[in-house]
């Protein structure tokens, strides 16, 4: 697939660009700032300059899949979360439909469906993620929404637990590298099509965990 990564300069986005460039897929890295070009090209991505808060239809030309991993960050204010995590994701879904890009994957978050279970300071973030998931689910696109727990910068372990709802959450965390690995694996794993599921560090190899969902 020709994959557009929206949010390519983020922590997960940079990992995705590297991993996709070393896969059977080709990758286009969407960035806002020309100064980020060298880093993306070093990681093997074709670069497109576009702003999620403006018109970015040109970024999708020639692509047949989108991975949306842009985020305002869990500790930003509601205004930025609204612009990026809710409106930005919805705009990306609309752009995919307009440009006949059927496959759409999004990095969401645990508690996106239960924001009231999170700390008050993050509930706006969870609500935005949940609204984006719902919008994608109703879009008619072939979607996958992955809801990781607390993200860490540890090296990926290559093993996860995955379920529509994980009951025994243990440490409730997962390395960003493993989230990136899940997104790449899910691209053409049909068992993840039109599914929303949670992921945490676990004991199953990623491919098996996705196929056993």
Alpha-carbon distances of 48 from 8, 63, 156, 192, 206, rounded to whole Å: 10, 12, 28, 28, 30
Candidates 125, 126, 135, 193; catalytic one = 125
Q: Are the C-beta atoms of residues 160 and 206 closer than 8 Å to each other? A: yes
As a whole number of angstroms, the distance between CA 72 and CA 132 comes to 13
125 noted as active-site residue: yes
Whose tokens are 């993200």? That residue is 151
Q: Are the C-beta atoms of residues 8 and 14 closer than 8 Å to each other? A: yes
Catalytic amino acids? 125
């Amino acid at each position: 697939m020709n994959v557009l990564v929206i949010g390519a300069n983020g922590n997960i986005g940079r990992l995705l660009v590297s991993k996709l460039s070393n896969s059977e897929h080709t990758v286009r890295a969407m960035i806002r700032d020309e100064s980020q070009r060298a880093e993306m090209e070093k990681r093997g991505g074709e670069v497109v300059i576009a702003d999620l808060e403006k018109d970015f239809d040109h970024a999708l030309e020639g692509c047949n899949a989108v991975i949306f991993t842009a985020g305002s960050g869990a500790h930003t204010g509601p205004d930025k979360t609204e612009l990026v995590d809710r409106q930005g994701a919805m705009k990306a879904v609309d752009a995919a439909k307009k440009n006949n890009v059927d496959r759409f994957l999004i990095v969401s978050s645990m508690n996106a469906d239960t924001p009231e279970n999170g700390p008050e300071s993050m509930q706006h973030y969870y609500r935005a993620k949940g609204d984006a998931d719902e919008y994608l689910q109703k879009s008619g696109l072939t979607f996958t929404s992955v809801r990781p727990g607390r993200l860490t910068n540890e090296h990926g372990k290559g093993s996860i637990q995955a379920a529509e709802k994980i009951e025994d959450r243990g440490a409730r965390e997962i390395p960003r590298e493993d989230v990136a690995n899940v997104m790449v694996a899910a691209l053409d794993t049909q068992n993840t099509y039109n599914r929303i599921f949670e992921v945490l560090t676990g004991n199953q190899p990623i491919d098996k965990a996705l196929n056993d969902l």
